[in-house]
Structure formats: structure tokens, C-alpha cells
Structure 1
Amino acid sequence: MAPWALLSPGVLVRTGHTVLTWGITLVLFLHDTELRQWEEQGELLLPLTFLLLVLGSLLLYLAVSLMDPGYVNTQPQPQEEPKEEQTAMVPQPVALRRCRYCLVLQPLRARHCCACRRCVRRYDHHCPWMENCVGERNHPLFVAYLVVQLAVLLWGLHLAWSGLHFFQPWGLWLRSSGLLFATFLLLSLFSLVASLLLASHLYLVASNTTTWEFISPHRIAYLRQRSRNPFDRGLTHNLAHFFCGWPSGSWDTLWAEGEAEGGSSQDV
């Protein structure tokens, strides 16, 4: 590995996240919080549970950050010609668009990420904190990471508050609890961001849409001038397909079914 590869944005971001995670955990253990009190009393179950949650959140973070989010095959594929037996009465699949950057035919719901320099299937967004895209393959893990991370942050917030004793003189308090108070403020900010992210992504999952589709439907050919989301099949179906991959099916099929439903409702 070249030396400059160790200074790539991805390595720096992931290293920073790992150091910050364990640094905050260490602050919570070193100060007079409930964690330290449990440890001194020999009650190790809760401290070990907290450490396992922290480790779990870190492993999920690295998994989402390092895995393939669903890159489209970079080998250029010729666009298929429509079959002769298809008629105007049958909903036609949306025409594939050739990416102007990597020259591949983009499947439905794919988008090119300029940061990753690849097209990503069911593109949601590029996460700078992960230094990776969130797409078809890692979006479920991303939601799982947000759930675990929010649990760790809220628990850490409670632990930090338990160690702040405001009855001490100001100067003494600042020397003994200044770092813990800064940690409390940092955890408050992270908890707010994680809560908003989790709420927004649970809404997107429940409606079978993506961040990109939700923000810019007017810029997306298969959503432009559509009155409803063609991929939404109800809460249960959407959750089962997102987390379990069942029932399976191509986005083109769902889009075509949406076209048929939209056309029949207009004919009435």
C-alpha cells in the first residue's frame, strides 16, 4: 500500500470516528459516572453491556463504510431493443439511461455518485461521515447502525449527566468535570443528529423511497409528473422487502405496475 493511501479521506474519517468513539467511552469510565460506580461495586453486567453496544455500533459503522453499496457493473451493456409483441396496452419499462460519467446503462433507481465515481443501485445518498454511498446493499445495515448508535448515544448522555455534580465551586467543578461536560454537549449534538436521521430513514423505508427521490423527484425521469410513488406497496410489503428482500422483484416491474394502476385510475 502506498504511504499516501493511509492519508485518504476514507481512512482519516474512519480513524477519526473510531478514536472519537473510544475516547468518549474512556471519558465516561474515568469520571464519577454510573459506569464507574457500577465497576467499583463489582456490578459488571451493565458496563459490559454498554461496551458491547459501543463495539456493535463501531462494527456496524465499519461494515456500512467499507462494503459495496451496490455498484453497477462498469462493463458497458448494450440497451435491449423492445420486443415486437409488446403493445401500447402493456406498460413499458422505463428506458435505461446511459451514465455520462462511467458510460454504463443505469438500472432504474440508480444514480452516479461523483464522490465514489461509480453508479449505485437504489442510490440513497453519499454519507461523508461514512465516506461511502448508502445504496441497495448497505441501506438496511445503515438503518440498523443508526438504531444501535442512537441507543449508545442516549445511554452515554445519561451516563455523562450522572457524573456532573454542579454543587461544587465553579473553578473546582471546571477542573474536575470540564471534559465530562464537553462530552455531554457533544453527545447531545450527536443524539439530535442521529434521531433526525433515524426518523427520516424510517419514513423513507416505510414509503419505499430514497433520500434522492424524496428531495429531487422533479429531476428524476421515472418520477417526473407522477402523482404517487410507483414503488410504494404498503407498509408491511415495504418493510419486508427492505429488510428481508421478500417478496423479490425488479424495480421495473413495480414501476410498470404503477403505470398500469395510474392509467386505469385516469380512465375511470
Structure 2
Amino acid sequence: MKIFRSGCLMRTTHVILSWLTTLVLFLHNTDLRKCEESGELLQPVLFGLVVLLSVLMYFTVSLMDPGFVLSDSESQSTLEYDEEQEKMLPHSERSQGHRRCGYCLLLQPMRARHCKECKQCVRRYDHHCPWIENCVGERNHKWFLLYLCVQLLAVSWGLQYAWSGITFASTWQQWFIQNSFLLGALGVTGIFSVVVLLLLCIHLYLAAINTTTWEFMSPHRITYLKPCDSEENPFDRGVICNLWDFFCVCQTVAWERVYSRRTKDAV
């Protein structure tokens, strides 16, 4: 299948890095190895399970449908909202959610965007992530954030174990030789810890204000955001409601209705 072929290299690289780094931590004189040798298996088992969970979460986010728009009929069901609400809007804003994609020619719901890499329109498009070789959109954004949480736990825990295994030597050359594999593990876990932490903070903030990376970075290029002030977000319902909707609402959202209510209240 195309979905497996397109990201095969990235997914293989992720699996190899995850398990190779884990193997290095188990084989060298780290706190993980010391627990294993002393018969205290709780930490090694938990660490192994966290790494396994991070790999499974990676494949879940990578292979699942991010919210592809498949047909006009599917889009039309979310574009139909109360006519009375629509009449209260300025004429220039009445049909901002109704547009056809210039690439796939499908009717595009509000907050959707065409991904050139995936060659499809994605609902509530956030960004195309090259690491997972998939878009982050309405259906998998929450899973992407949960994956970042698990991945951060795995790499930060691995960073601690890698540091615990570093030993001293009489010369720099001897020190580098005896710690070379651990230094590699330290570099991988250190870099990924910083990157994943930054991504996690960014996406938690975006979820809290109910916006996307695309909307946050390019509001001047998005039709339905141009009438809004620079600080105004027509989809923001407050931090608590935004986070509840983000994590707990699983159905497709008709963003045209949310937009029309907010705009009507502002008029």
C-alpha cells in the first residue's frame, strides 16, 4: 500500500534508533544494567514498556487518517449551518468556508488545507510532519500530542540512563573509546529530548488557544482570518473548553458554525 511505501525509510529509521539506543543502554554499565544485574527488574521492564509504547504511538500517528477530505458530499455535511446566522454576517464573509481546492478540486471545509506531500485536503490542517511522514490534522492531532508526551518520557529517561553509564579514564582517547556507544546514545536522547520538549510545549499552547500551526504562522494568508484582528481568534472558547474539545471531542466539527456564532456575537 502507498501509505506504507511513502514513509518506509523514516519509520524504519525511527524503529532502528529507538531499539538500538535501548540496546546500548541495556548492554553498558548504566543504572539500567545495574538494576538488571541486582535482580531489580521493575525499572528495566518499565523502561522497555515505555519505549515499546512510544514506537506503537509513533506508528499509530504515522499511519492513521489525519482527517482527509474524501468527497464533496462529506464536506457539504459540515458546511450547512443555520441560514439565519448566515444572514447576520456581512455579505463578504458569508461563504468564506465554501471554496474549492485548487489542487484536488474538492469542496474544502473551513480550517482545511491541501497538503502537497499527501496530495489531499486535510480537515483542521496543522502541518505536515516529515518525521512521521503524515499530516497532523483533526483526527490525529491529539494522538500526535500524546505521542510527544510518551516520546519525551522515553528519551528523557534514556538520557538519564546514558549519563549514568559514562565512566572516566586516564586519557581522552581511552575515555572516548570506552564511552563511544554511550556518547552516541547520549547525543540521540539529548537532541530528541530538546526537540520533543519544544514541540510538546508549542502544541499544548496551540491546543489551549484552539488554533493550528498553519493558522498561527500565516493568518494573513487565510481568508476567514483576514477580517479578524491580529489578536482575535474566532475559534477560541477559553483554555478549559479548548482543551476539553481538543482531547475529548472525537467527532468531526463544523467549524463554519463556530465561526458564524463568534462573528455574529462580535457584530
1:74-89 equivalences in 2 (<5 Å): 74-75=71-72, 88-89=87-88
CA contact (8 A) 1:33 1:162 kept: yes
Aligned-CA RMSD value: 2.5
**Corresponding position: 1:229 with 2:233:** yes
Residue 266 of structure 2, aligned match among 245, 254, 262: 262
Query: Does the 8 Å contact 2:162/2:185 carry over to 1?
Result: yes
How much has 1:174 moved relative to structure 2?
A: 1.7
Paired residues, what number? Answer: 260
Secondary structure at the counterpart of residue 222 of structure 1: helix
Cα distance between partner residues in 2 of 1:182 and 1:87: 59
- Answering whether residue 66 of structure 2 is matched by residue 69 of structure 1, we say yes
Q: What is the CA–CA distance in structure 2 between the aligned matches of 1:149 and 1:168, rounded to whole Å?
A: 36
Amino acid across the alignment from 1:188: G
2:57 to 43, 56, 60: 60
Contact 2:72 2:107 in 1 (8 A): no
With over 3 angstroms needed to count, the CA separation of the structure-2 counterparts of 1:248 and 1:110, relative to structure 1, is closer
Richer in helix (by share): 2
Distance 2:128 2:27 in 1: 36
Measured against aligned partners, the alpha-carbon deviations of 1:1-45 in whole angstroms (never above 9, x if no partner) come to 7xxx79944111111111110011001111110010000000000
- Structure 2 residues without counterparts, runs of 5 or longer: none
1:240 paired residue number: 244
TM-score (norm 1): 0.89
Give the Cα–Cα distance (whole angstroms) in 2 for the partners of residues 242 and 50 of structure 1. Answer: 29
Equivalent pair of 2:86/2:260 in contact (CA under 8 Å) = no
Select between 91-100 and 46-55 the one with higher mean Cα deviation. 91-100
Within the candidate set 238, 253, 257, 1:253 is matched to: 257
**Equivalent residues of 2:81, 2:256 under 8 A apart:** no
Quick check: 1:32 aligned with 2:36? no
Larger relative CO (CA 8 A, sep 6+): 1 or 2?
Answer: 2
Change in CA separation of 1:194 and 1:78 when aligned onto 2, cut-off 3 Å: closer
CA–CA distance in 2 between the matches of 1:102 and 1:70? Answer: 15
TM-score, L = length of structure 2: 0.90
Which stretches in structure 1 are left out of the alignment for 5+ residues?
A: 264-268
Q: Which residue number in structure 2 is paired with residue 266 of structure 1?
A: none
**Distance apart, 1:88 and its partner CA:** 3.9
Question: What's the counterpart of residue 174 of structure 1?
Answer: 176
Choose which of 159, 162, 169 in structure 2 pairs with 1:160. Answer: 162
Identity %: 52
State the alpha-carbon separation in 2 of the partners of residues 154 and 84 from structure 1: 52
Task: Supply the distance in 2 between the matched residues of 1:152 and 1:65 (Cα, whole angstroms).
Answer: 18
CA distance in 2, matches of 1:64, 1:78: 23
Structure 2 letter corresponding to 1:191: S
